[in-house]
């Protein structure tokens, strides 16, 4: 029997991309799924697919996580429908790549509301239940951009720096109650993310050969569920660059400036 058999896994941003792939692989392990996203029709399609392929127990809820009242309402309902939350995967997020002086305020505010405040809101609704049971796992999808910011992603990088700061603090707090907290820091993933982030298509084209497959990232996330893993960093070479950056920031910024602008 799989270690995820019968475990309840809540995934935000579960209507496409990485969220769908995490759901698919968790369903294959026998998990009960609670899928959250704005697009109900996409969620219904995902549910039908997973139910057919794996006979999975799938619950779906339409929610805009940038709206705290919606998050509170949906989590209240889902906690009535499932016995408990064993794993929360805060996957929802988006980015828009622009130079700082060109960033639109409404996009800046939206990124913080989804990437940071939405993540915090979902986590706050989950924490009391995990603390009461003295078990659980919170997985926050951040980014390598949260470790090393580059040009044309100042706002997006700021949101992911915030996610990492929140996650690192939360990890220490929740350890007292036996709850695991993991940060996921992927590089660029071949998903719909870039249809919003990169309207010109230039960044996706420039980094195409280095893009991660969502299946690979999801595999690492699902493998870590229920384990005390601090971080998942992909790809390894990019994470090595982030580590070097912490030691020699001026040198990395000088030598990598030309490459960093290829967004």
Task: Return the pLDDT at 207.
Answer: 66
Give the H or E element holding residue 143: none
Please give the average per-residue pLDDT across 64-74, as a whole number: 98
DSSP codes, 124-142: HHHHHHHHHHT--EEEEE-
Domain ranges of the chain: 8-260
Question: pLDDT tens digits for 116-142?
Answer: 999 999 999 999 999 999 999 999 999
Catalytic residue (one of 61, 156, 166, 180): 156
Which long-range CB contacts under 8 A does 170-177 form with residues at least 24 apart?
170/123, 170/138, 171/230, 174/127, 174/130, 174/131, 174/138, 177/130, 177/131, 177/134
Question: pLDDT tens digits for 172-222?
Answer: 999 999 999 999 999 988 877 766 666 666 666 666 677 899 999 999 999
Q: Please indicate whether residue 156 is annotated as part of the active site.
A: yes
Task: Return the pLDDT at 1.
Answer: 60
Output the CATH code of domain 8-260: 3.40.50.720
CA distance 261 to 263: 6
Give how far Cα 22 sits from Cα of 48, 185, 223, 261, Å.
16, 15, 10, 31
CA distance 19 to 35: 9
DSSP bridge pairs for 9: 33, 87
User: Do you find a cis peptide bond into 233, omega within 30 degrees of 0?
Assistant: no
């Amino acid at each position: 029997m799989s270690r995820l058999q019968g475990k309840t896994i809540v995934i935000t941003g579960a209507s496409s991309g990485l969220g769908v792939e995490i759901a698919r692989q968790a369903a294959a392990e026998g998990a009960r799924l609670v899928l959250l996203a704005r697009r109900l029709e996409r969620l219904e399609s995902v549910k039908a697919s997973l139910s057919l392929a794996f006979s999975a127990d799938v619950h779906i809820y339409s929610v805009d996580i940038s709206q705290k009242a919606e998050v509170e309402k949906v989590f209240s309902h889902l906690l009535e429908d499932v016995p408990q939350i064993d794993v929360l995967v805060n996957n929802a997020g988006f980015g828009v790549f622009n130079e700082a002086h060109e960033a639109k305020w409404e996009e800046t505010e939206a990124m913080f509301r989804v990437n940071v405040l939405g993540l915090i809101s979902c986590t706050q609704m989950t924490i009391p239940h995990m603390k009461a049971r003295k078990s659980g796992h919170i997985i926050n999808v951040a980014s390598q951009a949260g470790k090393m910011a580059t040009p044309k992603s100042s706002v997006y990088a700021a949101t992911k720096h915030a996610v990492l700061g929140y996650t690192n603090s939360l990890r220490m707090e929740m350890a007292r109650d036996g709850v695991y907290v993991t940060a996921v820091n992927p590089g660029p993933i071949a998903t719909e993310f870039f249809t919003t982030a990169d309207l010109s298509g230039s960044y996706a084209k420039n980094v195409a050969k280095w893009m991660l497959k969502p299946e690979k990232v999801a595999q690492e996330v699902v493998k870590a569920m229920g384990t005390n893993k601090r971080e998942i960093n992909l790809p390894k070479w990019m994470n090595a660059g982030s580590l070097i950056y912490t030691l020699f920031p001026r040198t990395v910024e000088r030598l990598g400036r030309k490459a960093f602008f290829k967004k």
